[in-house]
Structure 1
Amino acid sequence: MSKTNLRTQLRLKRKYRVKNQTQKDPQKLRLTVFRSLNHIYAQIIDDSNRKTLAAASSLSQEFKAKMKTGGNVEAARLVGSLLGEKAAANGVKEVYYDRNGFIYAGRVKALAEAVREKGIKF
C-alpha cells in the first residue's frame, strides 16, 4: 500500500468518527471544512433540513477581491472570517466543528480561530 493511500484511509477513518459524534444532536448545525492543496472550503450545514446556511471558499468572488492564492494560512483566516460574517448575519450562534478528518493544525486551525473571532461558538 502506498503512503498516500494510507494517509487517505486514516483521514477517512477520522472523518467518520467525528461525523458520528456530530450527528448525535441533529438540531445543532455543523461547520464542515475541506482543504485541498490549493484551496480551502467551509460551509455551515443544517443536517435536519439538509440545507447549507452559509458557505465560503478560496474560490469565491469576495475572496478573490482580497487575495490571489488560497493555499496558505492567511487565506484560511480570510475564508473563516468571511464565513463567520455570513453565519452571524444568518443568526447562527453555535455549531459543531467537523474538520473532515484533517488534523487540527495549520489552515484548519486558522479557519476555526477566525470563525470564533466573529462570535460563533464551538
Structure 2
Amino acid sequence: MKSNNTKKLRLYIFKSNKHIYANLIDDNTQKVITSSSTISKEIKNKIKYGKNCATAQIVGQHIGVKLKKLGIKEIIFDRGHNLYHGQVKAVADATRKEGIIF
C-alpha cells in the first residue's frame, strides 16, 4: 500500500506476541510522525493485561487523539499482514470514533 503520489499519511498496525503498535508514517519522507502502543507511558498505566481487544481499543483511541492534535483528519489504514478482525478492528474502530477518516 505504499504510494509516493499521495499526500495522506499511513497508519501502520503491528502486533508482536505481547504488544500492539500503531505508527503514523509519512511515506514521502519515510519517517514515523507519531506512534502509540501498549508500551507507551500514557497507556501502560491504563491497561491491566497485555495484548487483547480492550487494550487495542485504548491504543486506537490514543492514536486518534494524537492525530487530532496534529490536525490530521484523513489517513490510510495499513493492517500489514494481519486480518481485519479482533485487535486490528478494535484499533480501527476506536480511531474512527475519534473522528479520523479512512
Q: Aligning the two structures, in what range does the TM-score lie when normalised by the shorter sequence?
A: over 0.9
Query: Structure 1 vs Structure 2: percent identity of aligned residues?
Result: 42
Among 78, 87, 94, the residue aligned to 1:98: 78
Answering whether residue 62 of structure 2 is matched by residue 82 of structure 1, we say yes
Alignment partner, residue 23 of structure 1: 3
Answering whether residue 36 of structure 2 is matched by residue 56 of structure 1, we say yes
Q: Secondary structure at the match of 1:81?
A: helix
Q: C-alpha separation between the residues in 2 aligned to 1:35 and 1:67? A: 16
- CA drift of 1:46 comes to 1.1
Runs of 5+ consecutive residues of structure 2 not aligned to the other structure: none
Q: C-alpha separation between the residues in 1 aligned to 2:12 and 2:68? A: 16
What root-mean-square deviation, in Å, do the aligned CA atoms of Structure 1 and Structure 2 show?
Answer: 1.3
Q: C-alpha separation between the residues in 2 aligned to 1:68 and 1:43? A: 22
For the 8 Å contact 1:77–1:111, the answer to whether it is kept is: yes
Runs of 5+ consecutive residues of structure 1 not aligned to the other structure: 1-18
How many residues of Structure 1 are paired with residues of Structure 2 in the alignment?
102
Richer in helix (by share): 1
For the 8 Å contact 2:35–2:63, the answer to whether it is kept is: yes
Q: TM-score if structure 2 supplies the norm length?
A: 0.92
Q: C-alpha separation between the residues in 1 aligned to 2:69 and 2:82? A: 27
Richer in strand (by share): 2
Moved over 6 A (4+): none
Larger radius of gyration: 1
Among 53, 60, 82, the residue aligned to 1:73: 53
Q: TM-score if structure 1 supplies the norm length?
A: 0.78
